[in-house]
Amino acid sequence: MQLDSASGWCDGVRHCPSPNFNARPEGEISLLVIHNISLPPAQFATGKVQEFFQNRLDVTEHPYFAGIADLRVSAHFLIERDGAVTQFVSCLDRAWHAGVSCFEGRETCNDFSIGIELEGTDDLPFTDAQYAVLVDLTRQLQKAFAAITVQRICGHSDIAPGRKTDPGPAFDWARYRAALTEGEEQ
């Protein structure tokens, strides 16, 4: 996996372009938002997240899908339980992942953030493969977008409190942050 900073696309990952994006306003990319998703809830490796982000989800397949049928959302990346990565939107474009949101007094976080979805739920532990890939991807994003410091990485729940709960209590922030800073002292 290698991020091409000129195009905003990663080489070596699956590309499933989503129609749910638009151009960013002028300005920096300075925030990374971690989410979780599974469709249907708590079911993994179904391919339904990809269909959802591409507006191809058959809403008759599961009762839960009726409630999300009219949503038009996306994220830049999805990291599945086995560590497989799918990219839906160029990092240079605005994915529709954060919704109504605010970080350090600045609203509309989609304007200046990158969204990474982890296949999972708030209360099930994420896999070692997911953490390893998340750390690698985060480091590449930080290299391409220097304003994304460790302090500017947050959960969806941090920018949309009361509305969103992901990545949830099962996400090990200490493990993730420690892995990101490992080797920085050298």
Burial class (CB in 10 A: 0-12, 13-18, 19+), 63: exposed
Instruction: Tell me the two tokens of residue 180.
Output: 């990101």
Torsion of the alpha carbons at 86, 92, 98 and 99, rounded to the nearest 10: -120
Pairing of strands 113-119, 31-37: parallel
Q: Is residue 106 within 8 Å of residue 113, measured between CB atoms?
A: no
**Residues designated as active site:** 117
Pairing of strands 21-23, 93-95: antiparallel
